[in-house]
Structure 1
């Protein structure tokens, strides 16, 4: 753009005139300065005191762009982007009024509407002869601004990336720690700070071993540095198993981790990163799961799987050392009755107490296992002789003769124990265990509360037992059971006072079977409950039928097993049978043994009271053979005591039995209970019982058990039975 365009002041008029003596020098300098301004790469324009442009050099016009209006005569603020004019005006006011140097970066409004970044500087025009105004330099800084923007965006992107990385590292569940080549800590995230106890500020620059203190959880030796190994081998490495991190405060946590090398731009290893996390809970859970897989959840004892493993190991060791291994298979007698009557909570507490007693009875090298339910197994890993096993069994029977006090209930618990020994009773774990189980069932068949050594013939009995059990199931479905009735006789009048209902089994192959041949198996298999209900219902039905036929019926007693008595629906079942048959309750007498009643005396008293309220008669059967308490005997609503036949058998020849029977009769009479002697078979026995004022007798001396038809004929002939005293 020409410098002299329009009516504006020319550059020459902006240059102050020289003195007369310097006219020549001014003439020489003016073209020189004119050339400097015209060729300057900086834009230069002059403005008057009102801010109007009076001159603009070519560079200034180049910055403005081609095709624009002349700059001279325009307010210099209009050259700027409208958004920057307010800032420029404020800076210009400060310059003109306060003398503050004018320096400003702003956007220049080009002729084509685009914007260019420029740097403006202003100076007052010097000399007294100049018109008031300023000269401004304009430097195009668009390229620098563009580069600055690129750099700013790059810095922002880098900052954002670092922020994302920092947030990510602090958000993940793993701890992250980095080191340099010498092994000094260079970074830690928040999780690493928490797990080590070191803050990042404290840890930076410290040796890794000081901050990341790890030891072997088993040997307690200092663990190898995973970072150094990762850098040395230039690969990712895993932390050693069972590694424990020691916190700064001394606490410990199990960890798992990996370390990997860090590379610089040249691909060389420059440090390492360690990523680790706390596995204390997962390891503890794994340990618990492993324990539960091999131990009983209720008692904490080894379970069957662990027992089998230990038994196999013990047999292997015994085989090499020419030793013996003994296995004791234990079953808690009548545990199901306790569980059914008192509930599973009491049953569980009892099992826990039993487990503690068993552990106390054996060596620490032996294994006590809960096989399941109420069955326990004791492994005696090394025994010199079979007597070692029997002594342990005898100790158990003695210890368990004492009552168990469980949540206020005094429970009497006995054991049936079977013993088998390697190598005599089996050369492998399965055979030894099976034979011990067989011996245990033999102990139950022998009356419980005893120990039996395995004998080969027991396997034959086990097969027979299974045969009988399956036959009992068939007998229930096909009606193979019968009831026989044995009279009870008043020893002084000879009158029949009642009868006891006795079950028989008419097996199609074995013929008529006595209770002793199948009742124990029925109790073990749980079949005694439906069989017992059949006995009670059949006795009530038959007695009601005789009564309806006009016969003078007498009370009939029914034996109640422990399983029946403890069954949760026992009371409801008795009431239902009486209701269905229509029999008067006073004609039904229930016989229970001392052992049944004393297993849980408190619960027994409640059941007996409920039965008594129904109107039934209650009797204690086999009196004198079990554990009894006179205080409870007094509290129980018992009508009759039945002296066991084992005492009656030698009452006429054995002074001790005579004394015991005499005392029992006296006690019964004192308690106002009717006394019945069982197993009366001789005149001498009868004479003794009469002499000691026993009320009733039952036995072959009077009558064998009679089938229903024969007993009906006896009722038809009257209720008097001929005895030697009545002849």
Structure 2
């Protein structure tokens, strides 16, 4: 009997022990499922964080982190599927969880692939607050929650069965109490280890949450969350900072109370429209600082929809005060530039990169005889008709400046042909217009009317080279032409003649009739000489009543003397003052290059000596200088 009882106890012990081990295995299985589910939750949260980091940064490392999170989560799901097998009801829940995760992956992939990294951070971050994206996140987290709740219920049921078996084992196997204690100790150790693992998993989850909050607080944008009633539940650091600029607490109610009176009605209308239609709110408004100065804020607010029900609102706000100040400064600079362009005396024309006019200042419109509006849109070379000194068409330098990406300063004046055929001397400077990347996006052409300056310069040049009274070349121009004539004579082995002329009786005219008569006499002498000499000769007044005639390529001394005597004869009875004849004659001294001298100064000196001899010989005559001992035959 005892043996049978012991045998029965042993059989019961073995049976209950086997049942207990099975129950323990199932409990451990449930803990494993819960652990793997927790790891899946952690990977999903890491995926969400890394997608957000990618949206902000947009670099390859962030994309690789997202891919790693997806691979890890899929591996966890595969491990969880291996644990669950075909058990009910875990398998349908696991299928739903896997489907929700893949939907979450697809939505993240779409979000990442459509992100516009040329846009501002807030516009990209706003995409993560879109209802469709939030619904997918909520559905996935709900699937994880249901999986955990189902497994926790199954765990509770299995632990209950385990307790019953232990009770039966304790009652039936009192003799095997030490075995039961050992088994219980083993179970306690396993439970303790599992609880430790779960605690570590929860600590890791808390760390991930803290990292996510740190990331959000590091954002230059203000991020906040409102519940379904519009009451604030979360502000990040930037949102709190912005709120504290205008309030002590930084709550939404405080913000609304601090809205500038001119903006409050529009903001309230937008808020009620959001509540009514669930459409995102995008508003720009002013908050009033504690010191009374305005703070420009741009805010984006979107509803969080779960199964078509608004569960709250997520928002992004940005301090625009600095940008507004820059806009004001830019506007002021633009106005100053506009006033400057309208006030300067130069014509300014701006074009695009193709040379099509985009702007003409008033001076350009006046110079080109067109309205500024009519000129805009025309090719610059079609509106501007430029010609060079030979009258040939000359394109503007603007297209060249754009093509070569450099400033081109055309110093040599060109002429602008107006609609009536008038031609104005102009100088033009062209330069390319570049964007911030250095790409040429247009050009600017500055035209300066130099007609008056050219006329003044020409007049000054004429005054420097011509005698004011007679309009004959003066000594400066004579010496230049004489040097040129001698150089030409050297090349062609020719002679150059020089006639030095002095007026006989000029002093008596001045003394008798005054300086007015003397000036008139000098003008008549100039006309007399110019009408007497050859076309190739040059008549110059070199001072007082002294004139010279430069005779290039004269054949010989006889040719020079023939012209000298012709000049003396031309003065006979030629001059008068108010109808009264003036007794004025010419004395002429002649010299030849290279017969009498080989340079201009020596040639002048020889002609002057011949003139002196003519004066001494009775005046009213012409004499040739005696041939020098070192004369050169031609």
TM-score (norm 1): 0.44
Query: What TM-score results when the alignment is normalised by the length of structure 2?
Result: 0.50
Richer in helix (by share): 2
Structure with more of its chain in strand, by fraction: 1
